[in-house]
Amino acid sequence: MKKDAIDIRWHGRGGQGAITAAKIVAKAMFQSGYEGVVMVPTFGTERRGAPVFTSLKISTEKIYDLSPIDKPDIIVVLDHVLLEEANIVDGLKEGGTIVINSPCSIDDYRFEGRKVAICDVTTLAQQAGLREGIVNSGIIGSFAKATGIIDMDLLVTAIREEFSRRRPEENAKAALLAYENTVIGG
Amino acid sequence: MGTRQYGRSTSHSEPGPGDAGRTGSWRVVRPVMDPSICIPAKRGTPACFICWLYCPDGVISRTVPPAIDYEYCKGCGICAEECPTKAITMVEEACFIQDKE
Amino acid sequence: MHIIESGNVAAALGVKLSRAQVIAAYPITPQTPLTEKLSEFIESGEMEAQYVPVESEHSAMAVCIASSSAGARAFTATSANGLLYMHEQIQWAAGARLPIVMCVVNRGVGAPWTIWNDHQDSISQRDTGWIQYYVNDHQQIIDGVIKAFMLAEEVMIPVMLCYDGYLLSHTYMPFEVPEASAVDAFLPPYKPAYALDPENPANLNTVTMPDVRLDAKGRLAHGYMEIRYLLQEDLIRTIDVMARIDESFRKHFGRGGSPYYETYQCEDAEFIAVSLGSLSYHLRDVVDMLRADGFKVGVMSVHLYRPFPAEAIADALAGSTGIVVFEKALSYGYQGALCSDIKSALYHKGVDGSRMPFVHNYILGLGGREIRTTDLCEAFRKSCTEGAAPTDELRWLGLKI
């Protein structure tokens, strides 16, 4: 692993759009000057509803190792129920951050030595005018707020581009609402 | 003298007599045409030409009367089989050798 | 313009920019998104080509053979068992000297059924007379497709552009998409010396006699053996042509300079790892780690595998102490095919009695078995410290038996 690398692991369910979310962040990070950007989805058998994860590696230099991330700096969870089903926080670095789409209170989560960020993206996305269950644009706003590693304007531009034919304004609004309503603790 | 100058790097053959040598020597039976029964020969006009159409070796001409190129005709007998007036008969090659003698 | 997309999309964009005229393909994981993308390009009118949906890979190659014979620029893509199903037509395309380009999205072969990556599929097609070119990232995929058409049409030999299934086909990374006008300036339309012509009918590749023969025009025509000799002669010539095309590509697009292989930290390396595809990039991280521990190591990534640029590869490797070949395929019953080829290439270097590097051969990652950086590092370190081995025994990495 490169010294300056940021390893982000995204957890969601098949069909939930974790790959699209990671791709949007990848584009924005590349535009902000990171030359090394690699997004590695779960290989092979993605089925709707089944837990999936995708690895996003970011570095100032070209990335040569395409293997999945086992020690992430940041974990993003698109559905809080997944925390009950799989060991999602596995390998999260000391001092790392976990971003969760959850209607629960920040006090319900405790990960020793890690930062937690909570946002009810599911509800906010519907308020933004999206169909129920579309959370991949919204979670990007929470990610931006919790990590501070990327400018929100770049992300919103990348969201509008990615969803250019699928409600770009509503998706952008969902991200902005999530950005404003993310609670950080831990 | 080899094939270096051939100009192609694949197996390629074009239609024409003699692509496999003088195949007339393969013939055991010879098609012989009776002009008194052959339609174009009898009428003196271009007609029928079923033999020309069916010949797999292209050795029958589309002329009045049709002519068979014995240099390349292998004697398969398809023309005799297809001729609607049975103007072509297949004759043992040996008969022609005896004739010469 | 740089975009972030998957390797399959990079390949599809390369095919579009190359203005392929006929696409015939049958979907198979992990190739599917590539041909889906091409069918979208054609359906939307972005790409002017015929997409021929076929019922099998055998037919896909048959359609490519037919359309290429008719003078069209033809493309197909497949993986694993799909490639094997094409096998008979693959040989035909090479013998018929048709400049078809095919992406092989590398995947392990059944049985047992697997959808994950290794190199057994394309390695098993090594001896079919096709050009095989392995690439390591998305930029090399898109550039490689464009160069492949150029190369195929110059030497009239079909090209397999091989890239790792999933590892490259389904990962996303940035790459530059060349301008269409720049690609047009580099790659002219395909002008075959002979194309099917109803006015001048011909029989192509019918039964060809063991000996030479006079054709209908009285010219001395090839027998089977001359045609096969010419395929070999032109494959050997391809090595120089590849270098020329790579140089021309570099002038047009500013990328290239390693037509046969890419090296990393090999200048002063005592030990050199050799590999195909994305694994050779993964090994760069391993080289960095071992260099930090004081080992003089480097890695060579072989791009052009057939024809095998034996002389260039032997020259680059001959001065080292040890060579460690990491392979995701093997010639069952012997060893890794690349390892055998490298040893064979080195043979004449040792004829005069000069010291030969030892060669170790690791087999790893079969059927998508995880390749851990730490495992690679330990294996390479072990080879460096151990030195020449008394036997030629294969070493397996990541095996849990």
Chain A, nearest residue to C164 by Cα: A66
- Separation in Å, CA of C266 to nearest CA in chain A: 17
Q: Of A101-105, A123-127, B23-27, which range is least confident?
A: B23-27
> Do residues C107 and C170 make contact, with C-beta atoms less than 8 angstroms apart?
no
SS3 at position C275: strand
CA nearest C25: which of C41, C42, C38, C40?
Answer: C38
Determine contact, residues B85/B38, Cβ cutoff 8 Å.
yes
Q: Which residues of A touch C2 (CB under 8 A)?
A: 30
Q: Tokens at residue C133, please?
A: 């070119």
Interface ipTM: 0.92
Joined together, the tokens standing for residue A18 give: 């974790």
Q: Which pLDDT does position C350 carry in this prediction?
A: 82
Q: With residue C81 as reference, give the H or E element that holds it.
A: helix C80-85
Cβ contacts (< 8 Å) between C219 and chain B: which residues?
Answer: 6
- Chains in contact with C, where contact requires at least 3 CB pairs less than 8 Å apart: A, B
Query: Residue A1 and residue C285: Cβ atoms within 8 Å?
Result: yes
pLDDT of residue A44: 66
With a threshold of 0.80, does the pTM exceed it? Answer: yes
CA distance A59 to A6: 6
Cβ neighbours of C95 in B, within 8 Å: 10
* Smallest Cα distance from C197 to chain B, Å: 12
CA-based nearest residue to A162, from C12, C172, C45: C172
Residue B90 has φ and ψ, to the nearest 5°, of -95, 120
Mean pLDDT (whole number) for C33-54: 97
Per-residue pLDDT tens digits for C89-114: 999 999 999 999 999 999 999 999 99
Phi, psi of A98 (to 5 degrees): -120, 125
| pLDDT tens-place string over residues C152-198 | 999 999 999 999 999 999 999 999 999 999 999 999 999 998 899 99
| pLDDT tens digits, one per residue of B21-63 | 788 999 999 999 999 999 999 999 999 999 999 999 889 999 9
Can you read off the two tokens belonging to residue B76? Answer: 């398969």
Phi-psi region of A47 (alpha: psi -120 to 50; beta: other; left: phi over 0): beta
Chains A and C touch (3+ CB pairs under 8 A): yes
C-alpha distances in angstroms, C263 versus A32, C19, C268?
30, 32, 11
More confident residue, A85 or C184: C184
Which residues of A are less than 8 Å from C370 in CB distance? Answer: 67
Q: Given C29, C117, C285, which is nearest A65 (Cβ)? A: C285
Q: Tokens for A162, please give them.
A: 């990615």
Chain A contact partners (≥3 CB pairs within 8 A) = C
Class of domain A6-185: alpha beta
Closest CA to C271 of C314, C323, C312, C316: C323
**Neighboring chain A residues of C285 at a CB cutoff of 8 Å:** 1, 64-65
Chain C residue numbers touching B56 (CB-CB < 8 A): none
Q: Which residue of A has its CA nearest to C173?
A: A38
> Does C168 reach chain A within 8 Å, measured CB to CB?
yes
Rounded mean pLDDT of chain C?
96
pLDDT mean over C218-242: 96
Residue A148 · residue A113 · CB < 8 Å: no
Per-window interface: C 32-91 vs B, CB < 8 A? none
How far does the CA of residue B16 sit from the closest CA of chain C (Å)?
A: 6
User: Shortest CB distance from B1 goes to which of C201, C208, C220?
Assistant: C220
Cβ–Cβ gap C116/A44 under 8 Å: yes
Model confidence over C124-142: pLDDT tens digits?
A: 999 999 999 999 999 999 9
Model confidence at A2: pLDDT above 60: no
For residue B11, what is the nearest residue in chain C, using CA coordinates? Answer: C205
Cα torsion angle, A22, A28, A32, A35, sign: positive
All domains in chain C, ordered by first residue: 2-186 (3.40.50.970), 261-397 (3.40.50.920)
Residue of chain A whose alpha carbon sits nearest to that of C107: A44
Rounded percentage of chain C residues whose pLDDT exceeds 70: 100
Q: Distance between CA C354 and CA C361 in Å, rounded?
A: 22
Contact state of C171 with A41 under an 8 Å Cβ cutoff: yes
Closest residue on chain A to C281 (Cα): A64
Residue C380 has pLDDT above 70, yes or no: yes
Spatial CA neighbour of C162 closest among C51, C17, C257, C31? C31
For chain A, the structural domain boundaries read 6-185
C304 lies within 8 A of chain A by CB: no
Given an 8 Å threshold on Cβ–Cβ distance, is A67 in contact with C281? no
pLDDT at residue A92 greater than cutoff 80: yes
In this prediction, residues A114-126 reach a mean pLDDT of: 96
Average pLDDT over residues A16-20: 91
Distance separating alpha carbons of residues C16 and C202, to the nearest angstrom = 32
**A-to-C residue pairs, Cβ atoms closer than 8 angstroms:** 59
Among residues 132-171 of chain C, which lie with CB inside 8 Å of chain B? 156
Coil vs helix vs strand at B67: coil
Interchain CB distance below 8 Å, C173 and A41? no
Q: Determine B/C contact with 3+ CB pairs under 8 A as the test.
A: yes
As a whole-number percent, the residues of chain C with pLDDT over 90 amount to: 92
Inform me whether the C-beta atom of residue C116 falls under 8 Å from chain A C-beta atoms.
Answer: yes
Size of interface B-C (CB pairs under 8 A): 74
* Distance, CA of C26 to chain centre: 20
Of A40, A45, A64, the CB nearest to C171: A40
Contact: A41, C170; criterion CB under 8 Å: yes
Which of A38, A64, A155, A162 best tests the C interface by mutation, with the highest count of C CBs <10 A? Answer: A64
Return d(Cα C25, Cα C38) in angstroms, integer: 10
Q: Residue A49: pLDDT band by 50, 70, 90 thresholds?
A: confident
Give the integer Cα–Cα distance in Å for A46 and A49.
9
Note whether B3 contacts C97, CB cutoff 8 Å: no
Measured from the Cβ of residue C314, the count of other Cβ atoms closer than 10 Å reads: 18
Let me know: does A59 contact A48? Beta carbons within 8 Å: no
Q: Is C232 on the interface with B (CB under 8 A)?
A: no
Task: Suggest the residue from C215, C217, C236 to mutate for an interface test with chain B (most B CBs closer than 10 A).
Answer: C215
CB atoms within 10 A of CB C363: 21
Q: Return the HEC string of chain A.
A: CCCCCEEEEEEEEECCCHHHHHHHHHHHHHHCCCCEEEEEECCCCCCECCEEEEEEEEECCCCCCCCCCCCCCEEEECCCCHHHHCCCCCCCCCCCEEEEECCCCHHHCCCCCCEEEEECHHHHHHHCCCCCCCCCCHHHHHHHHHHCCCCHHHHHHHHHHHCCCCCHHHHHHHHHHHHHCCEEEC
Find out whether C369 and C114 touch, Cβ atoms under 8 Å: no
Q: For residue C139, how many other CB atoms are within 10 A of its CB?
A: 18
The residues pairing with B91 across neighbouring beta strands, listed in sequence order, are: B30
Class of CATH domain B31-100: alpha beta
**Residue C257 in contact with partner chain A when CB distance is under 8 A:** no
| Chain C residue numbers touching A23 (CB-CB < 8 A) | 4, 172
C1 confidence band (pLDDT: 50, 70, 90): confident
CB–CB of C222 and B1 under 8 A? Answer: no
Q: Model confidence over C293-341: pLDDT tens digits?
A: 999 999 999 999 999 999 999 999 999 999 999 999 999 999 999 999 9
Q: Does C234 touch chain B (CB under 8 A)?
A: yes
Which among B6, B10, B18 has CB closest to C204? B10
Q: Which residues of C touch A22 (CB under 8 A)?
A: 172
Phi-psi region of C10 (alpha: psi -120 to 50; beta: other; left: phi over 0): alpha
Task: Kindly tell me if the per-residue pLDDT of B100 is higher than 70.
Answer: no
SS3 content of chain C, % helix, strand, coil (to 5): 40, 20, 40
Query: What span, in angstroms and rounded, lies between the C-alpha atoms of A162 and A160?
Result: 6
Confidence check: pLDDT of B101 > 70: no
Q: What is the CA radius of gyration of chain B?
A: 17
Nearest Cα of chain A lies from the Cα of C322 at a distance, in angstroms, of 23
* Strand positions, DSSP E, C210-316: 213-214, 220-221, 261-264, 271-276, 297-302, 304-306
